[in-house]
Chains A and B, each alone.
Chain A
Amino acid sequence: MAPDTQAIVDARAIHKHFGALHVLKGVDLKVAERELVFVIGPSGSGKSTLLRCLNRLEEPSSGSILVDGIDMLDARTDINHARQRIGMVFQSFNLYPHMTALGNVTLALRKVAGKSRAEADRLGQAALERVGLADRAGHTPGQLSGGQQQRVAIARSIALEPRVMLFDEPTSALDPELVGSVLEVMRSLRESGMTMIVVSHEMGFARNAADRVVFMDDGLIVEQGPPAAIFESPTHERTRAFIGQIQRH
């Protein structure tokens, strides 16, 4: 991390137990402003759990998490307020099916950010514009393709002007021909300077958009570095095996 940039996310020694299952075994992750960190690793290695700990959808068993200087695990922190700064995009979109695209995007603007309906509609429309769906504002999720739904989900997050965006396999549920449009939106987000942590299998995207690739296995970060280094010359055996496996596919 360059010394002149500030850490937006500073997670230290994160442990997470699910009953007897020890899923995160002391993860440290520091993400600088405007950095795009790509997280890879085998199924069950704890990638989703790590992301979900960062905005406290999952309660870490121990450790500390600072996001934009806010102590996420402090009982005195207004977690609902803090979560506005951390956008999250899910594999299954999770749009509200009973609302229009604009309704999805404006709900938190009105209820959490306290905007008037007119102001929320204006900001929501602008967010839909950024994901290329200004003309779909009045459509319900059922009337949108998977790719469009995921872009609305991204708009729902960016409308709140978060300091960091978390993506948990944003394209895994999409038909191959729809993946490109979502990656396109993520790329433009990155160009606008958004700090991003992305769990994904889209290695092509990682290669040309990520600043850093983090390889996780069995609840620990095994290795990390620039994409070229991780993909071309991984130092750990487990990383090599994993990279070899996904490149064969």
Chain B
Amino acid sequence: MTNFERFLDTFFNGKVMLKYLPDILSGMVVTIELAVLIVLSGLAAGLSLALIRSLAIRPINWLIIFVVDLFRSLPPLVIIVLMYFGLPYAEVSPSGFVSTWLSLALVLMAFSEEIFWAGITSVHKGQWEAARSTGLSFGQTLMNVVLPQALRITIPPLTNRTIAITKGTALGTVVAVTEILGEASSAVSNSYNPSPLMLGAAAYLVLFLPVVVLARRLETKFAWKR
């Protein structure tokens, strides 16, 4: 065998790959479920916090800023581990799936709140004044005038952040979530062959490449001239 053949046999072993393909596919389903839950709940919570923050109620804003800074500083792995191994002491025992979901959703909430908030504050004060002077309420101005402009600016940083945090689903392996990486690494130890890992990498590409391409489309679509 040449070196190259040995390389192929080790990393792209067809027999091993075929055997563990169903496991990787079921891992993909778990990753997709996690990712969708994280994106929906994380962005919804982040946007809600940014909207609440715009009401400018001092004590509430201090609390928001504290929570946001906390979850932006902690490594996601630490949050997952604390939730999974720590919460049972408080008589709550979230599964590995739930721990991973909530942890990453909190991280996405924190980062997206900052991005949404930066978008809201970047809208010129004159936009508020023009809208309020025609009788629009604070809420109507926020929803109809300010937010649509803020969202356009937030799309590029938001998609980047969302993709980065969603890839963190792989951290679920440490709390026994059978997502792609979890399935791949147990397959590696069972087969004494790293090919399933390559399969796992392919699965991530299949999942995330379309998302990255779609994000790029969105960015060009919404990059509009004033």
B 121-158 binary contact with A (CB < 8 Å = 1; else 0): 00010110111111111001000110011001000000
Partner of B135, one of A84, A90, A95, A98: A84
Q: Complex formed: what's the CA distance from A92 to B124 in Å? A: 11
**Count of A-B contacts judged by CB separation below 8 Å:** 71
Partner of A111, one of B126, B136, B225: B136
Of A80, A86, A87, A160, which is in contact with the most chain B CB atoms at under 10 Å from its CB?
A80
Question: Residues on A close to B: CB < 8 A?
Answer: 55, 57, 80-84, 86-88, 90, 92, 94-98, 107-108, 111-113, 141-142, 153, 156-157, 160
- Known contacts A94-B129, A98-B149, A107-B144; is A142 also within 8 Å of B136 by CB? no
Shortest distance in angstroms between A39's beta carbon and chain B's nearest beta carbon? Answer: 17
Partner of B225, one of A84, A95, A113, A142: A142
Q: Complex formed: what's the CA distance from A82 to B135 in Å? A: 7
Q: Complex formed: what's the CA distance from A172 to B135 in Å? A: 25
Per the CB 8 Å criterion, the residue count for chain B at the interface is 21
- Known contacts A107-B144, A142-B226; is A96 also within 8 Å of B127 by CB? yes
Chain B interface mostly:
helix
Q: Are B127 and A111 in contact (CB under 8 A)?
A: no
Q: Are B152 and A84 in contact (CB under 8 A)?
A: no
Q: Are A111 and B140 in contact (CB under 8 A)?
A: yes
Partner of A57, one of B133, B140, B226: B133
List, sorted by A's number, 5 A–B pairs whose CB atoms are closer than 8 Å: A80-B136, A94-B130, A97-B226, A111-B136, A142-B225
- Known contacts A97-B149, A98-B149, A98-B152; is A157 also within 8 Å of B126 by CB? no
